[in-house]
Amino acid sequence: MYEFIHTGLPYRIVFGPGQLSSMADELTQLGVKRPLLIVSETDSGLLTAARNFLGDVPYTEWTSVAQHVPIPVAEAAVAEAVSQAADGIVTIGGGSTTGMGKAIARRLGLPILAVPTTYAGSEMTPIWGETSDGRKVTGRDARAQPRTVIYDVNLTLTLPAALSAASGMNAFAHCAEATFAPGQSPMNTSFAVEAMKNLTRGLPIVMSEPDNLDARGEVLLGACLSGVVLASAGISIHHHICHVLGGMYNLPHAELHSVVLAYALQHIERASPGTLSYVGEALNVDAADAPAAVRNLTRELGLPQSLSEIGMKESDITDAVTPLVESTANDLTPLSPAAARDLLNHAVHGQDDWFER
């Protein structure tokens, strides 16, 4: 029997190759006349593209962007927005750039036009995250939800293949988890399964043909849907594990999700057989084989297979056990101290025997 609550979010999506050219018109539709343009100083190609299409719009540039939105940087950007009397925000870049826009939007109540250029999915969510003294705080705020999102596949062509694969698996993780997270609903599951199929079809082609626009478009659509379901269904044990490890050991966001996902899924499947039926459906395997199929996909994409490859050491394991137990306590399949240690031991070393049935 179906029984669910589904809350739709207010956003407009403009999707297609070359759609960055609609940026000035979309700003007009939003009623924004003096935007603050946020682009990372490292993404000079994106900055040039944004300048071209903003044309006569009077805007101010902000190029100081860092992973996980350091609060002092966010507060400096807020001061700039106030001093320039900005009435809206344009972000063009990955999840870090979108995150900077959200930090300003939630403090000043300004609308965001987001142009994502990775597959993080943040642009479709009201979820914000900021860091101070090495501690990441996250929350939900309707003011952080971008009002208009332009997906221009042409902008993703410069995303290096390895980064594309890791970012795409980050999107896959949002989708996999949405099929059993607290806000799971038939709508979210439909989007999530389709998005996992988009990502599974597109990512291997992007690896071998990074200029293949159709494959890039397939992955970008998967990323868009992954953000939708992340916002609506919420997160579960996989994300809780990643938040703990990412925060404690400053591990790269997308790669961390990519390594942990298969290990977390195998724990879930053992503790609650059948939970992964939709992940299995997307990958065309039984639920019990879904974790190994995810593992094989990450291997096919040439992604790291162990946490040690991305910076976590064996000597870090003991300290992480209690935080993992605490952070997963309310999940469908919580980690006991023994299970947390076991999972970490296998994931740090990248051991394949974890996936034996």
What is the spatial distance between Cα 250 and Cα 10, in angstroms, rounded to a whole number? 33
- Nearer to ligand NAD by Cβ, of 122 and 266: the residue is 122
Query: How many residues belong to the site for ligand NAD (CB under 6 A)?
Result: 29
CA 182 to chain centre: 18
Give which of 247, 265, 253, 95 is closest to 177, Cα–Cα. Answer: 265
| Site residues (CB under 6 A) for ligand NAD, limited to 92-151 | 93-97, 99, 117-118, 120-122, 125, 127-129
What is the spatial distance between Cα 59 and Cα 55, in angstroms, rounded to a whole number? 10
- Nearer to ligand NAD by Cβ, of 52 and 336: the residue is 52
| Site residues (CB under 6 A) for ligand NAD, limited to 155-214 | 155-156, 158-159, 163, 167
Report the nearest approach of ligand NAD to the CB of residue 334 (Å).
Answer: 23
**Secondary element (H or E) of residue 88:** strand 88-93
Task: Indicate which single residue of 68, 147, 240, 267 sits in contact with ligand NAD (rule: CB under 6 A).
Answer: 68
| DSSP for 159-193, written as a single string | S-HHHHHHHHHHHHHHHHHHTTSTT--HHHHHHHH
Report the nearest approach of ligand NAD to the CB of residue 185 (Å).
Answer: 18
What is the spatial distance between Cα 266 and Cα 295, in angstroms, rounded to a whole number? 10
Residue 42 in the binding site for ligand NAD (CB under 6 A)? yes
Cβ burial of 69 (10 Å; 0-12, 13-18, 19+) is buried
Quick note: the x/- pattern for ligand NAD over 231-270, rule CB under 6 A, is ----------------------xx----------------
Give yes or no for a contact between 169 and 261, defined as CB atoms under 8 angstroms apart: yes
- Per CB under 6 A, the segment of 40-48, 195-203, 333-341, 344-352 that binds ligand NAD is 40-48
Residue 43 in the binding site for ligand NAD (CB under 6 A)? yes
What is the spatial distance between Cα 115 and Cα 223, in angstroms, rounded to a whole number? 13
- Nearer to ligand NAD by Cβ, of 249 and 281: the residue is 249
- Nearer to ligand NAD by Cβ, of 230 and 317: the residue is 230
Q: Rounded to the nearest 5 degrees, what angle is found at the Cα of 142, between the Cα atoms of 180 and 26?
A: 110
Residue 67 in the binding site for ligand NAD (CB under 6 A)? yes
- Per CB under 6 A, the segment of 38-46, 184-192, 280-288, 324-332 that binds ligand NAD is 38-46
- Nearer to ligand NAD by Cβ, of 220 and 325: the residue is 220
CA 204 to chain centre: 19
Q: Which residues of the shown chain bind ligand NAD in the complex (CB under 6 A)?
A: 40, 42-43, 67-68, 93-97, 99, 117-118, 120-122, 125, 127-129, 155-156, 158-159, 163, 167, 230, 253-254
